Amino acid sequence: MSQVTATLNSHRNSRVPGYYVLGLKNIVKEKPQQITTFLTSADGSQIATLNSHLSNALRRLIDYPNLQFEATAHIQTTHEIIKRATKANDAIVRVNIYIYGPQHLWEEAGNSLSAEKVFLQRPDHMKTESRYDNPHFIKFPNMDMLQISNHLQELKPDGEAVKKDVEHFRKAVSKVYSSLTRGKDLQQIEGDQHIKSTLLE
């Protein structure tokens, strides 16, 4: 574990402060014959393996010469997980994976991922020179989704309005509850000798 930490620390990337920036690479294992996808440092050192679900989804795309892959892992969280792990399989770290490539591979990459039930989301640390375009994002002709998103933000109620609505709902529920008459006008009746508590009718 200490060797992995040392390798990570020697290849920190200042592009994303507080995060390791890693590459992805397919490695063919002979015994058993299989392809494993590794997270790699800047010098190509193998740091970790992706889980089987993501490996299956990305395996074919990683070998495309026109696609670039990048994974980011939070430095402090990674250190804490590695420190607590008693064996390699215990060191499970969440990473964000970014895919960069030309427009003509947009649909093919999206279809390949969705076939494996893996879907792209808006990135947190995208390269500044890149343009975000998600093949899994529904697009409508003549509609600017950024403007729509900003408009929806403006329509969000403020905290005070939400608080008043919650209080109004609470009072309404309390009023309904207090109006219930199920417990009124109940009379005691006799039951079987085996019944030890009093019955109400």
Look up the pTM and report it.
0.61
Gap between the Cα atoms of 38 and 55, Å rounded: 9
Residue position matching structure tokens 């010469």: 65
> Residue 110 is which amino acid?
G
Within a domain: 45: yes
In a domain, 102, yes or no: yes
Burial class (CB in 10 A: 0-12, 13-18, 19+), 40: buried
Provide the domain limits for residue 109.
2-136
pLDDT in tens, 114-155: 999 998 888 888 888 888 888 887 766 666 655 656 666 666
Residue 175 lies in a domain: no
Any domain includes 131: yes
Domain-located, residue 29:
yes
* 3-class secondary structure, 86: coil
Q: What is the largest CA-CA distance in the chain?
A: 86
The sheet with strand 19-29 has its strands ordered as 46-49, 34-40, 19-29, 68-74, 96-100
User: Measured between alpha carbons, how far is residue 7 from residues 45, 51, 66, 199 in Å?
Assistant: 8, 21, 28, 75
Q: Is pLDDT at 3 greater than 70 in this prediction?
A: no
Bridge-partner residues for 30, per DSSP?
A: none
Q: How many domains does the chain have?
A: 1
Indicate whether 67 pLDDT > 70: yes
User: Does any domain span residue 87?
Assistant: yes
> Tokens 């060797």 — which residue?
3
pLDDT digits (tens, 9 = 90+) for 175-195: 776 666 555 555 555 555 666
**19 in any annotated domain:** yes
Say if residue 100's pLDDT is above 90.
yes
Whether 200 is covered by a domain: the verdict is no
- 18 pLDDT above the threshold of 60: yes
Q: Say if residues 49 and 36 touch (Cβ distance below 8 Å).
A: yes
Supply the pLDDT for residue 192: 59
Per residue in 19-51, pLDDT (tens digit) is: 888 888 887 766 555 677 888 877 778 888 888
